Amino acid sequence: MQAFSPSTGSVDVAGGARARYLEAGTGPPLLLLHGLGQSSTAWRRVMPAFASRHRTIALDLPGFGESPAPDSQPYGGPEYFSKVVEATTSALGLGSLDAIGHSAGGLALMLDALRSPQRYRRIVLVDPVGFTPMPNNLLGTAAASLVRLFVGIPRTKAMTRALYSTAFFDSSRVDDETVDELARRHSDPRAKRIARHTFTKFFDYCRRLEPFHERLASLDVPILAIWGQEDRLFPASDAASLARVLPRARLEIFEQCGHCPQIEQPERFVSAVEEFLSAS
């Protein structure tokens, strides 16, 4: 069997940065957006299947994967990444598209869709950020400090794998590409500073989600939400908040699955997404 070899490219995006992307296939455009700590490697197990039906583009957000990070102040927050999505789709001339956003990538997609709903035909949210509130008090401030400290702690590759494995129900499904990338990034002082800054921005955004949820009430784009039943980062019980805020969204809970359904259960993931995207 021939190895899957997507092409690579890069585009100018918000804040004076460039974003690298992988691309494969032809047909209706499908954008894949990873979560924090990951990159386009998060889609390696599903991208070949999607590329058989779609022009599939997996983006590296600035500061992750092979995309450098700008030094400008706005870098790293949810609104910034949503503008990266806007710039990417415009630069690539994608027009009306389907999109899948995992974790923080899901929040970035929702924010861009609120700004430009006509850009999206259908959206898939995968264990998304934006429905798990963080404490908005002194406890939250202390927790944010702990997050910054934790992200910056030196670690071996074995420690990296062990920590990353907690995002899975079945640790044997961990992908080596992401482990290698995380280990490489943790050996780079600048990458660790970027990670601390970015995680803090997203944590702070989630300390007050009510305004975001009020805006979502007006979003009229078909949405499928996929959530791992055993997600330890964003509990599946928080899917109830999504269902309340987005009552027209379709929700699928993947049993025996953690935070990364596209990696842990790729066949079921592709089947659920393709059924949704092809629905009339």
Q: Give residue-wise pLDDT tens across range 41-95.
A: 999 999 999 999 999 999 999 988 899 876 665 667 899 999 999 999 999 999 8
- Give the start-end residues of each E strand in 134-272: 223-228, 250-254
Place of tokens 């998060």: 42
What is the per-residue pLDDT across 176-223, written as a single tens digit (0 to 9) for each?
Answer: 989 988 888 777 777 777 878 888 889 889 989 999 999 999 999 999
Architecture of the 7-134+208-278 domain = 3-Layer(aba) Sandwich (3.40)
Closest CA relative to residue 32, chosen from 123, 95, 113: 123
Place of tokens 């299947």: 49
For residue 161, CA distances in Å to 105, 129, 157, 232, 265 come to: 22, 23, 6, 16, 19
* pTM, rounded to two decimals: 0.92
Question: What pLDDT was estimated at residue 153?
Answer: 58
